[in-house]
């Protein structure tokens, strides 16, 4: 691997505040999204992901404002998602300052949306978010879920990731709903299964509990690693993760030395 591994904090935004729970339940306030984003930028994060976890029309307006304020403060790529249902929704988020837009439920309902977005803005702007859990009856043993992992679709998650990439998604945000909040480590079999069928970058999400959990995700095939509460509540710094990845032999963009203080 010669491309630097990306370390990405995820900020779940509800009505203009960052929140975090387990499987979107028991949400705790984790702070102002723009303040957190600026802190992560200073600490050496490679990108940021914002997800609107309620995605009502009012909160989507809030998300546009959050993205715009963040884009004025940070100089790293921002991905925004949650409630994105149309090409126009993507256009508005990109105009607000997002570099990439994450699609999930709307793409499951109408896969051609991925192609429409990629044709208009380029595949590099299109992230397919796959919320996967183990399920009998699918070829891979994983199914796509919606509603924060609570509702199964019966769609094979690995096959869907491959199809989405073929339709125009330039990146896969792979969320393990089984691992989410457990802090027991990333779902390595899931990462490996998706890596085997897509040639676009894969972001591993769900399950990080300590710095040592991140390198195995890269070994399993991820190009980037994402975490939320570990960073928000100060259990790990970006520099801690990058130090661990560097020790494991993976190239990273090292944070400024002050980020380790």
Active site residue 29: no
Write out the chain in H/E/C secondary structure. Answer: CCCCEEEEEEEEEECCEEEEEECCEEEEEEECHHHHHHHHHHHCCCCEEEEECCCCHHHHHHHHHHHHHHHHHCCCCEEEECCCCCHHHHHHHHHHCCCEEEECHHHHHCCHHHHHHHHHHCHHHEEEEEEEEECCCCCCCEEEEECCCCEEEEEEHHHHHHHHHHHCCCEEEEEECCCCCCCCCCCHHHHHHHHCCCCCCEEEECCCCCHHHHHHHHHHCCCEEEECHHHHCCCCCHHHHHHHHHHCCCCECCCCHHHHC
Active site residue 131: yes
Name the active-site residue from 12, 41, 52, 213.
12
Name the active-site residue from 46, 131, 156, 240.
131
Would you please indicate which residues are annotated as catalytic (active-site) residues?
12, 131
């Amino acid at each position: 691997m010669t491309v630097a591994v990306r370390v990405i904090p995820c900020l779940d935004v509800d009505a203009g505040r960052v929140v975090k729970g387990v499987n979107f339940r028991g949400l705790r306030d984790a702070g102002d999204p723009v303040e957190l984003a600026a802190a992560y930028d200073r600490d050496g994060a490679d990108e940021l992901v914002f997800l609107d976890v309620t995605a009502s029309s009012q909160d989507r307006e809030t998300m546009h404002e959050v993205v715009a304020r963040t884009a004025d403060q940070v100089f790293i790529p921002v991905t925004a998602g949650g409630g994105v249902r149309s090409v126009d929704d993507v256009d508005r988020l990109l105009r607000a300052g997002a570099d990439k837009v994450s699609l999930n439920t709307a793409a499951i309902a109408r896969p051609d949306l991925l192609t429409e977005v990629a044709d208009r803005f380029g595949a590099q702007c299109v992230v397919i978010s796959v919320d996967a859990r183990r399920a009998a009856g699918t070829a891979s043993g994983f199914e796509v879920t919606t509603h924060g992992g609570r509702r199964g679709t019966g769609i094979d998650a690995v096959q869907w990731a491959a199809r989405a990439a073929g339709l125009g998604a330039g990146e896969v945000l792979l969320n393990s709903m089984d691992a989410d909040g457990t802090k027991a480590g990333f779902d390595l079999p899931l990462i490996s299964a998706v890596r085997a069928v897509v040639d676009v970058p894969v972001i591993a999400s769900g399950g990080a509990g300590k710095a040592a959990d991140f390198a195995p995700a890269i070994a399993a095939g991820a190009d980037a690693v994402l975490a939320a509460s570990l960073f928000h509540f100060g259990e790990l710094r970006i520099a801690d993760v990058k130090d661990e990845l560097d020790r494991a032999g993976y190239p990273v963009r090292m944070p400024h030395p002050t980020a380790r203080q």
